């Protein structure tokens, strides 16, 4: 089932605070793979220590983003548990960024060449040429995510700034997706030898949704059914070379115990919407009226006001954990200090946000150019209460404290 009871959200994540502290020495060390977290992050054992590292120059989709599951599976095949690898530091890159080789193959370029990830930040990266060539090979051959996900532009010849996985698409594209969905019901079907799943989502013109999720697992006589009401918003759109439009659409439940669901959809040149991650999908007109929003439901559904309000709600806060401090500064930016010295400076962007006048909820993206990484965060602020954040696509989180109005910017 694509929605499930959400874990208790914590005030902030270790990911926000685990920014670089010092440059790494350029050296290679033997290691053993412990686990793969996603398509660009792996945990390894080096000696007696367990370390989490990011693949330099690799930016994999996470959470429910298009191709996230396939990307993670691909890296697990390249780096199976207990595999022996070599970890090579990059002397000019701070933080967790590393090269990983196994059996003579550079895993960073393998992920890009096979289309299992996109090119990440390449600032001060020695193997930038090899990484670009590998990504160009996967893109040209339309392998992996380049074939079924949002079309991406070829990397610039000069070093570009690190960009989020989802950037706001042109207004005409977003309007086309809204027009194709509003007043219609999307039916998604998935079947394999393990389970059968059906999702029916009604997209109301006023931004409301009603959806039913039905899951049948082998050996279970009765299906598991969940009915939810909520709201929807278009997160990202982009035109593909064939004239179709790809989009990410968020569907949020009024019940806060259910996670926000991210739909990856394609609007074809024939005017039909399909869901490429499912065996079959179809969108049909639906003349029924959606239920009115209950008290406390969003009144601002991904408007400039709701986005600005979310930024304002978290700006000026100081986040602390394990003796480290991270300040949310104007921009918005995340500035981390250790012993009073700035050791990291990242950007914070808003993908979408909704508000019911008291509670603000949205997805923000943290980008760290020095590490070539980006993270998507589900942020919730209730009135004058604490900031609650959950990192999308990651397991586990570490609690920190957030004190508003105490940031040093």
pLDDT at 327: 84
The mean pLDDT value for 89-106 works out to 83
Reported confidence tier of residue 15, pLDDT bands at 50, 70, 90: very low
Average pLDDT, the chain: 75
CA Rg, the chain, in Å? Answer: 21
CA 17, CA 11: separation in Å to the nearest integer? 12
Domain with CATH 2.40.50.90 in the chain: 24-148
pLDDT at 391: 61
pLDDT at 110: 96
Reported confidence tier of residue 390, pLDDT bands at 50, 70, 90: low
Options 3.90.79.10, 2.40.50.90, 3.30.930.10, 3.40.50.620; CATH for 24-148 is: 2.40.50.90
The answer to whether domain 171-285 has CATH 2.40.128 is yes
pLDDT digits (tens, 9 = 90+) for 192-223: 777 788 889 999 887 788 988 888 876 666 77
pLDDT digits (tens, 9 = 90+) for 37-86: 889 989 899 988 888 888 988 988 876 678 888 999 999 999 999 999 99
Percent of the chain topping pLDDT 70:
72
Domain with CATH 2.40.128 in the chain: 171-285
pLDDT at 186: 93
pLDDT at 49: 85
Sign of the Cα torsion 375, 259, 283, 71 reads positive
401 close to 324: Cβ distance less than 8 angstroms: no
CA 265, CA 263: separation in Å to the nearest integer? 6
For the record, the structure tokens of 51 come out as 């370390």
pLDDT at 254: 74
pLDDT at 125: 82
pLDDT at 159: 31
pLDDT at 21: 32
Whether pLDDT at 141 is above 80: yes
Map tokens 């981390």 to a residue. Answer: 336
For residue 49, the tally of other CB atoms under 10 A from its CB is 8
Reported confidence tier of residue 166, pLDDT bands at 50, 70, 90: very low
Whether pLDDT at 393 is above 80: no
Return the closest-CA partner of residue 345 out of 356, 357, 355, 337: 337
Reported confidence tier of residue 151, pLDDT bands at 50, 70, 90: very low
Q: Whole-model pTM?
A: 0.42
Whether pLDDT at 113 is above 90: yes
Percent of the chain topping pLDDT 90:
16
Whether pLDDT at 388 is above 80: no
CA 382, CA 389: separation in Å to the nearest integer? 12
Reported confidence tier of residue 164, pLDDT bands at 50, 70, 90: very low
Q: How many CA atoms lie within 13 A of 285 on its CB side?
A: 1
């Amino acid at each position: 089932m694509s929605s499930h009871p959400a874990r208790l959200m914590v005030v902030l994540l270790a990911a926000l605070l685990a920014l670089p502290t010092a440059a790494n020495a350029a050296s290679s060390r033997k290691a053993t793979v412990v686990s793969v977290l996603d398509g660009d992050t792996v945990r390894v054992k080096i000696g007696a220590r367990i370390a989490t590292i990011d693949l330099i120059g690799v930016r994999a989709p996470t959470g429910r983003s298009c191709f996230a599951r396939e990307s993670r599976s691909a890296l697990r095949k390249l780096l199976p548990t207990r595999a022996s690898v070599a970890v090579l530091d990059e002397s000019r890159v701070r933080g967790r960024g590393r090269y990983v080789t196994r059996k003579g193959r550079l895993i960073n370029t393998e992920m890009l060449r096979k289309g299992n990830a996109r090119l990440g930040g390449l600032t001060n990266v020695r193997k930038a040429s090899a990484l670009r060539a590998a990504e160009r090979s996967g893109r040209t051959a339309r392998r992996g995510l380049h074939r079924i996900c949002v079309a991406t532009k070829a990397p610039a010849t000069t070093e570009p700034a690190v960009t989020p996985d989802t950037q706001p698409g042109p207004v005409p594209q977003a309007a086309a997706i809204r027009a194709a969905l509003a007043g219609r019901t999307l039916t998604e079907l998935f079947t394999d030898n393990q389970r059968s799943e059906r999702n029916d989502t009604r997209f109301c013109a006023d931004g409301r949704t009603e959806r039913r999720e039905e899951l049948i697992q082998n050996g279970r006589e009765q299906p598991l059914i969940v009915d939810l009401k909520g709201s929807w918003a278009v997160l990202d759109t982009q035109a593909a070379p064939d004239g179709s439009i790809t989009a990410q659409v968020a569907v949020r439940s009024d019940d806060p115990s259910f996670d926000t669901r991210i739909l990856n959809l394609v609007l074809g040149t024939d005017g039909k919407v399909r869901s490429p991650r499912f065996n079959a999908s179809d969108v049909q007109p639906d003349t029924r009226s959606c239920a009115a929003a209950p008290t406390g439901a969003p009144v601002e559904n991904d408007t400039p006001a709701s986005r600005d309000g979310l930024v304002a709600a978290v700006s000026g806060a100081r986040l602390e954990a394990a003796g480290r401090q991270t300040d949310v500064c104007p921009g918005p930016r995340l500035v981390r200090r250790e012993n009073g010295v700035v050791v990291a400076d990242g950007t914070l962007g808003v993908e979408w946000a909704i508000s019911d006048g008291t509670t603000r909820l949205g997805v923000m993206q943290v980008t760290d150019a020095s590490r070539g990484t980006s993270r998507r965060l589900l942020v919730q602020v209730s009135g004058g209460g604490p900031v609650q954040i959950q990192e999308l696509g990651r397991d586990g989180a570490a609690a920190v404290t957030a004190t508003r109005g105490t940031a040093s910017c």
